[in-house]
Amino acid sequence: MREGPDIAHIASLVGDPARANMLTALVGGTALTATELALEAGVTLQTASSHLSKLTEGGLLKLSVQGRHRYFALAGPNIAAMLEAIMGVAAVVGTRRVRPGPRDDAMREARVCYDHLAGELAVAMFDRLLAEDAIAETADGIRLGRNGHSFFAARGIDVGALQGLRRPVCRACLDWSVRRSHLAGSLGAAILDVLFKERWARRQKKGRTITFSPEGRRAFAQAFLPEAVPPWPEEQRLVASI
């Protein structure tokens, strides 16, 4: 018998279509009930309960009980990163499930990936952070760059406080729609918090899509996007102010 992690067991948990739909519905970092996940998976509540038990016992989901309600969420950011990576592979070699309409474009542009920003804007921001030496690439992954403390302090983020947390400050996460890296870790989560705190953007009530106001677009671009690449031409996808 081979030694090491048993990826076949994890693959079998994720590989069932109903369970895959449930996990995908939770990538945005929200917690959902069994009834809501049954609807996402297109199965009965009884069948959903069986799937949720397997996912929880397998360590992919965690259960929270509030009063009479039971909520399921991904067990951690590493599970979300795994799912995003699988989505990236599926986008290249797998069967595509097309959902036409402007919501697709909006989701590719900006969305929540567990607790951080993903999509085209997140990838562009990642490039800017590398260019500014706010983060740096190493053989072992992503680390804080030489200018990291000053760069993020100017944008209201205390990197020193993040370094005291258990989770990594910087981590590269494969973006399934762009198939390049965006920023995860506690720093990625802190940047998303800034977007919401400053009211530059809001999350749509249903789903993972993030919508920027015109003023928020300009503020975000000035703070985090490369100046050489105008992110939003005036004629493209303007939305109503928050």
Domains of the chain listed by start with CATH number = 7-75 (1.10.10.10), 99-224 (no CATH)
Q: How many helices (H) and strands (E) does the chain have?
A: 11, 10
Please choose, from the candidates 24, 204, 32, 25, the residue with its C-alpha nearest in 3D space to the C-alpha of residue 109.
204
Distance from C-alpha of 59 to C-alpha of 61, rounded to nearest angstrom? 6
Average pLDDT, the chain: 84
Q: What is the pLDDT of residue 100?
A: 35
Q: What is the pLDDT of residue 40?
A: 85
pTM of this prediction?
Answer: 0.66
Q: What is the pLDDT of residue 2?
A: 64
Distance from C-alpha of 165 to C-alpha of 86, rounded to nearest angstrom? 27
Work out the burial of residue 161: count CB atoms within 10 Å of its CB; fewer than 13 is exposed, 13-18 middle, 19 or more buried: exposed
Q: What is the DSSP letter of 184?
A: E
Range scoring the smallest mean pLDDT among 69-73, 135-139, 189-193, 237-241: 237-241
Range scoring the smallest mean pLDDT among 18-22, 109-113, 141-145, 225-229: 225-229
Please choose, from the candidates 219, 213, 208, 218, the residue with its C-alpha nearest in 3D space to the C-alpha of residue 238.
213
